[in-house]
Structure 1
Amino acid sequence: MEAFVSFLNGIIWSPALIFLCLGAGLFYSILTRFAQVRHFREMWSLLFSSSESAKGISSFQALAVTLSGRVGVGNIAGVAAAIGFGGPGAVFWMWVVAFLGASTAYAESTLGQIYKVEEDGQYRGGPAYYFERCLGQKWLAILFAISAIIACGIFLPGVQANAVGNAVTQVFGDGTMVSTDYGEVGVHKLIALAIIMIVLAFIIFGGIKRIAHFTQIVVPFMALGYIVMALIIIFLNLNQLPGIISLILSDAFTAQAGFGAAIGWGVKRGIYSNEAGQGTGPHAASAAEVDHPAQQGLVQAFSVYVDTLFVCSATAFMILITQQFNVQTEDFNAVTGAGTMIIQNVDITTEVASPAFTQMALNSVFGQFGQVFVGIAIFFFAFTTILAYYYIAETNVAYLNRFFRNRFSLLVVKLMIMFMVAYGTVNSSGYIWGLGDVGVGLMAWINIVGILVIFFVAKPAIMCLRDYEAQLKSGQPITFDPVKLGIKNATFWEKRLAKSRSTEGSAPAPQKAE
């Protein structure tokens, strides 16, 4: 099975997907005239400008839910893996894919808002919805929905749960070993699994509102705490910072692990971390209560910056400044010594695709507290990411229920995710990370190709941005009229505008003062 997963990964993550991700980001950056730079202040102001409603969540809550998916193990273990296999230069390519990916995140999240629907008393949307309503291609919508359920319901939760188990082991040790069908498992890892399962069940049975209220508290607190720890390490070693930045930039093009490895691992781990173009962000973005679709698109573009330029960079600088990393080829075997160890700063048995480098970096400065802090950070980052994966899977099950109605489908998804969390916790990380990469790649292929086709067919995201910019410039109240822009099948916004006009028309005329 592991060999098959590796084979499948080789096909999905061919150079074609890497160039497609970078190309799509550059394409939308040019089309939006680099809106991710021009509208940075607007992104910030929009974070707190809307409030939740009975059917929708606020912009900040949507950002928190999206960040709960973006800020996860990829920021801690994923960055370590990128450096361990691609060299320090991989960090540069993570920055590139974040900068370009912010425009992709704008496009896909704006599309999610334009074509969202109101179902079961809440807003739903995402790639499946905009593929059907914009392109009229139900087969593509169904294909994405199935891929998202498989990826977010089966493949990806195991990666997050596995990292939690490894982090707990790194902090507390294995404890008493217990014999299971999956081999020997430490009791400490099983205790962590039990805690995750209990809290996870409580939250996912409460729907998007409970997920949003939980993540809006936990995600900002943990992300800020993590960045502060990194800033302390950078401050204590400030004289090394110019050299580290120079190393990242020079190694990006003359990578010690090979130029292709730096790009490949930087882009792969970058996309895995920030999810731009992957099609996951639009689900939470569609649930937001906003006045104009472009507003949530800009907020989601900002989330890519938070994820990669802030949190991932924090991890990279901690690891590189403290020199707590190795660089090796992918075929290196720590047991037999086969393969190539390019740089060795720490023990060769240290697992690359794990939080170990990050924990060792913090441990070298803060002692045992640093190691414990990373374990706690991974627990919360991974746990909130699992919540985001559940919501994505739930949204796509709701979409498929239009065609294949089954009243037990959502219960099956809940149980399936809980099973995969248990499975991922007790299995080897290499195998689980491979499954995660397959899930990310499947969604990225379908979504990126889809949003590029949408541009050539209708250009709704670009028209939306121009309309929003024109209203900002004129100073008029922000509204969205899809019919005026020639955008078809945006029925939610059509009904909302009609209702607004009806209310205005029926309001009593103001009386003149006596």
Structure 2
Amino acid sequence: MNTIFNFINQFFAFLAPITDTIWDFPTNINWYKNIPILGQFSFPVILLIGVGIYFTIRTRFIQRHSFAPAIKIMLARQSPQQGISAIGSFMLGLAMRAGPGNIVGITGAISIGGPGALFWMWVAAFFGMASAFTESVLAQLFKEKKGDEFVGGLPFYGKRLLGNNHFVGFFLSCVFITYALFNIPAQTFNVFSAIGAIAQATTGHQYSHQSTLYYTIAVILVITCAFTIFGGIRRVVAYSDILVPIKAVIFIGISSIIILINFPLIPYFFREVIIGAFAPHAIFGGAIGTALVQGVKRGLMSNEAGQGTITMAAAIANNRHPCEQGFVQSFGVFFDTMVICTMTGFIVIMAHVWTGSVDGVIWDSVRASKITLYLTSAKALTPSFLATSVEIIMCACYGLFAFTTLLGMISFAEISANFISKKNSFIIIIRILGALIFVPFGILTILAGLELGNLWYISDLMNIIMVYLNIPLLLLGLPFVLKALADYRKNKGTPFDSKQYGFTTECWNGKDDVK
């Protein structure tokens, strides 16, 4: 068995240079690298921020108007006969957004690019809100009915925007399903890491991967995932409505306490972030591009703006107007990055992690594991009598982040798969692949003592592939989004009729059944 796992791990190792090459292009070409200022910025960074700026201008800074409508829409009492509520779609989207990347991704970005990476993450998130608005409105416009549910997202609007070409949607659906399923083993590992760390912190004993504890976790995880996933999207939403607020409130609450305990360091935090964004320390290469690339790259993995993945959650919601879901998911980008990720940034930066000296800890061993680095930072800022409690709570949050992301990956793969076939037999196959094959596969690698770290490279690679597939579609679909936005502003969010604007859709045709 170990031979098989080692082969798989080594097979994915070849993705590392490919992923780095794509993310760094064309800064890895000498003539481009020598161009002043511009030579520090890779094409993915230019594309993501550039498109976000373009959408921001074309929508007349939609970010300014996202907060109040989003909160009003989510708090409105809804009993939809079809689809899920706006708050349900927000929680499902946040289940994916607020994942382990909010902790280890941000910690990694800061440890590689310096504190300035957090500043560029904020910038990318601000403009990413416009990208999230655009893709979410498109997902709503071109969603389809499936019984008493809606399905839609990237494959559905991709097909419509490229001349109703079914092959386009089929291809996009296959790519996304691949992306989602291959992210499952890594999230499974994160769940085990979190629970193992809690057990170790509680008992002081380090448990073997072959211990009863790990086998117990394995059984419970498979049963829990299968029970939730096979209950369909509505059951997943019902649980995400509970788990997402719990993990967010606990994480933000504990982080806020740690920040308040270290209140005198707050000015230091902002100084390091601002200075690091424009004049990085030499330890990080001394180039703005390093901080900027890390900020945008890890910001994308966290808030997923412009990637097309959250469009699955946006499409299944029941709204009176397509723009309502745009506001909701745009607010999701803000909450994920500006609130949750910033909490991580506060702790890591205030603990001076990049100085290479954490009291009583060998720096290299800490830096090798981003979750260890984060927990070490949190404990360094906490009174010793609270350190163990903080570690346990943060590990619990980390485990919840991973678990909800795990459920989100399988659910979004299912929604995307509806483009290929809406038959229950086919959807059950996707559920089996996710809950009963890829989750157990991830568990087996852990029980065998392998971390399959190279699977992270496929995540980075698929993230940028999704961006390259989605961004051109957003540019093509922008005229439809602007028509919907003009209607929303003119008619104050009354039910939308696409026929008034020269195009037809399945769900926005002026009938009263979708409101």
Q: Is TM (by shorter chain) over 0.5?
A: yes
Q: Is the 8 A contact 2:185 2:439 kept in 1?
A: no
Partners in 2 of 1:188 and 1:235 — Cα distance? Answer: 36
- 1:314-463 mapped onto 2 (5 Å cutoff): 314-323=343-352, 325-326=353-354, 343-345=356-358, 346-347=361-362, 348-364=364-380, 365=382, 366-401=386-421, 406=426, 409-414=429-434, 415-422=436-443, 425=446, 427-428=450-451, 430-455=453-478, 459-463=479-483
Could you tell me which of 249, 252, 268 is aligned with 2:277?
252
Partners in 2 of 1:84 and 1:435 — Cα distance? Answer: 21
Q: Is the 8 A contact 1:52 1:289 kept in 2?
A: no
* Match of residue 508 from structure 1: none
Q: Counterpart of 1:498 in structure 2: which amino acid? A: K
Q: Counterpart of 2:87 in structure 1: which amino acid? A: F
Q: Is the 8 A contact 2:140 2:322 kept in 1?
A: yes
Q: Secondary structure at the match of 2:103?
A: helix
Q: Counterpart of 1:3 in structure 2: which amino acid? A: A
* Match of residue 192 from structure 1: 217
Q: Is the 8 A contact 2:319 2:325 kept in 1?
A: yes
Query: Per-residue CA shift, 1:379-435, capped at 9, x if unaligned?
Result: 111111111111111112221126999576334433343235425655436423222
* Match of residue 141 from structure 1: 169
Q: Is the 8 A contact 2:116 2:280 kept in 1?
A: yes
Query: Per-residue CA shift, 1:118-161, capped at 9, x if unaligned?
Result: 0143100101000112332333322221111001112x222322
* Match of residue 68 from structure 2: 41
* Match of residue 222 from structure 1: 247
Q: Is the 8 A contact 2:185 2:441 kept in 1?
A: yes
Does residue 202 of the first structure (1) align with residue 227 of the second (2)? yes
Partners in 2 of 1:80 and 1:429 — Cα distance? Answer: 20
Partners in 1 of 2:211 and 2:293 — Cα distance? Answer: 34
Does residue 177 of the first structure (1) align with residue 208 of the second (2)? yes
Aligned-pair distance for 1:218?
Answer: 1.1
Where structure 1 has 5 or more consecutive residues not aligned to the other structure, the ranges are 179-184, 328-342, 502-514
Partners in 2 of 1:150 and 1:46 — Cα distance? Answer: 33
- Work out the number of aligned pairs and report it: 469
Q: Is the 8 A contact 2:66 2:328 kept in 1?
A: no
Aligned-pair distance for 1:448?
Answer: 1.5
Partners in 1 of 2:391 and 2:452 — Cα distance? Answer: 19
Partners in 2 of 1:352 and 1:418 — Cα distance? Answer: 25
Normalised by the length of structure 1, the TM-score is 0.86
**Cα gap change, 1:7/1:187 in structure 2, threshold over 3 Å: closer, same or farther?**
farther
**Cα gap change, 1:151/1:186 in structure 2, threshold over 3 Å: closer, same or farther?**
farther
Q: Counterpart of 1:298 in structure 2: which amino acid? A: F
**Cα gap change, 1:273/1:45 in structure 2, threshold over 3 Å: closer, same or farther?**
same
Q: Counterpart of 2:482 in structure 1: which amino acid? A: I
Q: Is the 8 A contact 2:66 2:330 kept in 1?
A: no
Query: Per-residue CA shift, 1:277-298, capped at 9, x if unaligned?
Result: 1111111111111100000110
**Cα gap change, 1:229/1:326 in structure 2, threshold over 3 Å: closer, same or farther?**
same
- 1:56-67 mapped onto 2 (5 Å cutoff): 56-67=83-94
* Match of residue 318 from structure 2: 289
Q: Counterpart of 2:370 in structure 1: which amino acid? A: S
* Match of residue 39 from structure 2: none
**Cα gap change, 1:373/1:403 in structure 2, threshold over 3 Å: closer, same or farther?**
closer
Where structure 2 has 5 or more consecutive residues not aligned to the other structure, the ranges are 1-10, 25-41
Q: Is the 8 A contact 2:19 2:461 kept in 1?
A: yes
Partners in 1 of 2:167 and 2:410 — Cα distance? Answer: 23
Query: Per-residue CA shift, 1:207-257, capped at 9, x if unaligned?
Result: 111011101111112101111111111212222111111101111122231
Could you tell me which of 489, 493, 501 is aligned with 1:469?
489
Q: Is the 8 A contact 1:175 1:187 kept in 2?
A: no
* Match of residue 182 from structure 1: none
Partners in 1 of 2:485 and 2:458 — Cα distance? Answer: 36
Q: Secondary structure at the match of 2:150?
A: strand
Aligned-pair distance for 1:326?
Answer: 3.8
Q: Secondary structure at the match of 1:144?
A: helix
* Match of residue 95 from structure 1: 122
Partners in 2 of 1:369 and 1:260 — Cα distance? Answer: 38
* Match of residue 302 from structure 1: 331
Does residue 272 of the first structure (1) align with residue 272 of the second (2)? no
Q: Counterpart of 1:479 in structure 2: which amino acid? A: P
Could you tell me which of 90, 95, 119 is aligned with 2:146?
119
Partners in 2 of 1:252 and 1:245 — Cα distance? Answer: 11
* Match of residue 238 from structure 1: 263
Partners in 2 of 1:424 and 1:55 — Cα distance? Answer: 40
Q: Counterpart of 1:484 in structure 2: which amino acid? A: Q
* Match of residue 7 from structure 1: 17
**Cα gap change, 1:176/1:44 in structure 2, threshold over 3 Å: closer, same or farther?**
closer
Partners in 2 of 1:142 and 1:382 — Cα distance? Answer: 28
**Cα gap change, 1:228/1:4 in structure 2, threshold over 3 Å: closer, same or farther?**
same
Aligned-pair distance for 1:90?
Answer: 0.9
Query: Per-residue CA shift, 1:454-503, capped at 9, x if unaligned?
Result: 23xxx11111111101112xxxx7110101122x2412111xx23569xx
Aligned-pair distance for 1:57?
Answer: 0.7
Does residue 498 of the first structure (1) align with residue 514 of the second (2)? no
Q: Secondary structure at the match of 1:288?
A: coil
Could you tell me which of 19, 44, 49 is aligned with 1:22?
49
Q: Counterpart of 1:236 in structure 2: which amino acid? A: I
Query: Per-residue CA shift, 1:11-39, capped at 9, x if unaligned?
Result: 43232222211111111111111111233
| Mean Cα deviation higher: 241-250 or 440-449 | 440-449
Q: Counterpart of 1:168 in structure 2: which amino acid? A: I
- CA RMSD across the alignment: 2.4
Q: Secondary structure at the match of 2:454?
A: helix
Aligned-pair distance for 1:260?
Answer: 2.4
Partners in 2 of 1:394 and 1:500 — Cα distance? Answer: 24
Q: Is the 8 A contact 1:131 1:138 kept in 2?
A: no
Q: Counterpart of 1:133 in structure 2: which amino acid? A: R
Aligned-pair distance for 1:69?
Answer: 0.3
* Match of residue 37 from structure 2: none
| Mean Cα deviation higher: 48-57 or 165-174 | 165-174
Could you tell me which of 495, 505, 514 is aligned with 1:479?
495
* Match of residue 168 from structure 1: 195
Q: Is the 8 A contact 1:65 1:388 kept in 2?
A: yes
**Identity value in percent:** 28
**Cα gap change, 1:435/1:193 in structure 2, threshold over 3 Å: closer, same or farther?**
farther
Partners in 1 of 2:390 and 2:174 — Cα distance? Answer: 40
Q: Counterpart of 2:166 in structure 1: which amino acid? A: K
Q: Secondary structure at the match of 1:118?
A: strand
Q: Secondary structure at the match of 1:279?
A: coil
Aligned-pair distance for 1:2?
Answer: 4.2
Partners in 1 of 2:266 and 2:466 — Cα distance? Answer: 37
